[in-house]
Amino acid sequence: MELNKNTVFDCSVIDISKIHSEAGNITVVENDKNIPFHVKRIYYLYDVPAGEARGGHAHYELEQYVVAASGSFDVVLDDGVNKRRVSLNRPYMALHIVPGLWRELDNFSSGSITMVLASEVYEEKDYIRDYKTYIEKKK
């Protein structure tokens, strides 16, 4: 399978915006309105022990919005040439990860929740889990 030529600079942090009230805030993501792909799957990471890292893979096709629904963490993006560390700590900000990028998540705050909106259902075939293989395929 061909690996997308996207670079870390094709990923961006998007302000989803919020509906504010004295009683609390709401942030809305709606297909065809404020997200550049159709959401087929939502998953969330929680109870990540201190010092732990997640991710450590790339996807051929999958696109994602990654949101710090609670707390904070960093996403390290890597396209084989450039690396970019993005800190997420606001529930109304989403990191758009385009296909073909290596990513790791670390620096999780205690109690943080990582919400991921994904363009495809889970498919192990869409993963590259070996960094050397990723670098070879990215060339």
Residues at the contact surface with ligand TYD, assessed by CB under 6 A: 41, 43, 45, 54-55, 57, 122
Q: What is the closest distance, in whole angstroms, from the C-beta atom of residue 25 to ligand TYD in the complex?
A: 26
- 3-class secondary structure, 122: coil
Burial bucket for residue 99 (CB in 10 Å: 0-12, 13-18, 19+): buried
User: Would you say 100 and 3 are in contact if contact means Cβ atoms under 8 Å apart?
Assistant: yes
**Could you say which DSSP state residue 100 is in?**
T
Q: How far is the CB of 57 from ligand TYD (least distance, A)?
A: 6
Please tell me which residue in 20, 38, 57, 96 is annotated as part of the active site: 57
Active site residue 57: yes
Minimum distance between the CB of residue 83 and ligand TYD, rounded to whole angstroms? Answer: 17
Report, as residue numbers or ranges, the catalytic residues.
Answer: 57
